[in-house]
Chains A and B, each alone.
Chain A
């Protein structure tokens, strides 16, 4: 997996780093569109969580990502 760049919004980047620290997979899209990438569970049967490039409220987008991390961090361990 190619190394990802930092998300431009620091709240979102913090949430992505936290997801990675909890062994979730953070994948960045190669095209530069509205969807920056995904956060995925170790259990691939679970749907991924989309990460947006330009959230109007980065704090709330980070909150959504944190909730996903906390709901999936124990899967596959």
Chain B
């Protein structure tokens, strides 16, 4: 499964730096400008620590420096896979919770497109709070604790 997270950068890489340094295929899912940040997707690892190390290494090959790790915004989009990895569950179980096959029900609705049709995402905050209510703080805060730990580590360098 993919570990997806956002790192803060000292600056946005230039197009020339991207062409010179980007891997094929790239684990950079997106780059934002304000503030400079990169969202990374890392596969073939078995822990957040491994994912963070790999993601930082890859994005710094673009010539930029990672200066921190960012918490997701409340309205950030998350997939079943994101929720599974963040809460330590299987993707199938998350889908079953989301569709009321198992669990207490009341799972937050998916993000809707303009025509009312559901996209394949949820907003981060409502899903995190649903897990907090039904699985407890320890589960709900797993991802945020990992982010805090990684952020402290990189800022202490």
**Stretch from B29-37, B128-136, B148-156 at the A interface:** B29-37
| A34-B18, A66-B77, A66-B119 known; A54-B25 Cβ under 8 A | yes
How far apart sit A33 and B17, CA to CA, in the bound complex (Å)? Answer: 12
Q: Does A65 contact B (CB under 8 A)?
A: yes
In the complex, per-residue mask of B73-90: 1 if CB is within 8 Å of any chain A CB, else 0 = 000110101000000000
Query: B4: shortest Cβ distance to chain A, in Å?
Result: 6
Do most interface residues of chain A lie in helix, strand or loop, or is the interface mixed? mixed
A55 with B29: CB separation less than 8 A: yes
Decide if A17 is an interface residue (CB 8 Å cutoff): no
Interface size class of A (residues with CB under 8 A): 20 to 34
Q: In the complex the two chains form, is B30's CB within 8 Å of A65's CB?
A: yes
A2 within 8 A of B: no
Of B18, B25, B30, B111, chain A has the most CB atoms within 10 Å of the CB of B30
| A52-B26, A57-B2, A57-B29 as given contacts; A63 in contact with B121, CB under 8 Å | yes
Find B79's partner among A55, A59, A68 (CB 8 Å cutoff): A59
A49 within 8 A of B: yes
Closest to A34 in B: B22
B25 touching A55, Cβ below 8 Å: yes
Are B34 and A47 in contact (CB-based, < 8 A)? yes
Pull 29 A–B residue pairs with CB atoms less than 8 Å apart, ordered by A.
A22-B114, A33-B19, A34-B18, A34-B22, A34-B26, A35-B18, A47-B34, A49-B30, A50-B31, A52-B28, A54-B25, A54-B26, A55-B25, A55-B28, A55-B41, A56-B26, A57-B41, A59-B79, A59-B81, A60-B2, A60-B41, A60-B79, A61-B30, A64-B29, A64-B30, A66-B77, A66-B119, A66-B121, A67-B77
**Partner-A contacts on B (CB < 8 A):** 2, 4, 15, 18-19, 22-34, 39, 41, 43, 76-77, 79, 81, 111, 113-114, 119, 121
